[in-house]
Amino acid sequence: MSAPPTGHIAPAGQLADHLAAAQRLHDLLPQLTAVGDRLIEVYRSGGRLYTFGNGGSAADAQHLAGEFIGRYLRERRPLPAVSLVTDPSVTSCIGNDYSYDEVFARQVEALVCPGDMVVAFTTSGRSANVVRGLEAARKAGAVTVLLTGGEHGGLPAAQWADHTLVAHATATARIQEMHLTLLHLLSEHVDAWAAGAAPTSSASDDTRQESAV
């Protein structure tokens, strides 16, 4: 990641960086499709999806799980997905009794079965608990996926990933914005399969309604 800025970054500059990073997502579409197809195979075989990350990446992990348990665009069966960031009793227990580095690995060892998929989010690729979580998932026989960014290809976490999607940005905020887009693209791919929808290039069929609070 780049060094923290020392002055104000104009909104126009931030938007320009966002658009440049988004344009380069086209390069990741073949890999994203491969991840989507593999997740469909996991679901066809009765497997589950597990997700994790820290901070904003934890929010992305929860978001992805929610899209599958609920729905993305279409009415269809709920798909089993579990975020390993949402239970404070479990995470604080592991952090206190073992180490925060083990907070995801310990859960993976308890829950993940061969043939499941584990998706990890880390903007740097260096979060120790994410590295350990992916390592545990690989050893458990799961398909491992990493969403990351920065200048180092997601290392060291990437060494434990079967599929690595690297956002081409260095600012943490831009990487997280790309991860949000990627998780929505993945959700669309699997959602369409689960609902039996024909492929379309238009977003005009987005009829999802969110309830008013």
Contact yes or no for 117/39 (Cβ under 8 A): yes
Whether 98 shows a pLDDT value over 60: the answer reads: yes
Q: Determine the longest span between alpha carbons in the chain, in angstroms.
A: 52
Query: pTM of the full predicted structure?
Result: 0.90
Whether 73 shows a pLDDT value over 90: the answer reads: yes
Whether 83 shows a pLDDT value over 70: the answer reads: yes
Domains recognised in the chain with CATH numbers: 24-195 (3.40.50.10490)
Whether 1 shows a pLDDT value over 60: the answer reads: no
Whether 212 shows a pLDDT value over 60: the answer reads: no
Each residue's pLDDT tens digit, 130-178: 999 999 999 999 999 999 998 889 999 999 999 999 999 999 999 999 9
- The H-assigned helical ranges of the chain are 11-23, 29-44, 56-69, 88-97, 105-111, 128-140, 172-195
Lowest mean pLDDT among 9-13, 90-94, 126-130, 195-199: 195-199
Task: Identify the bridge partners of residue 82 per DSSP, sorted by sequence position.
Answer: 50
Mean pLDDT in residue range 14-43: 96
Percent of all residues in the chain with a pLDDT value above 70, rounded to a whole number: 90
Other C-beta atoms closer than 10 Å to the C-beta of 33 total: 13
Which of the four pLDDT bands, split at 50, 70 and 90, describes residue 5? low
- Range 57-76 burial, b when 16+ CB lie within 10 A, else e: bbbbbbbbbebbeebbbbeb
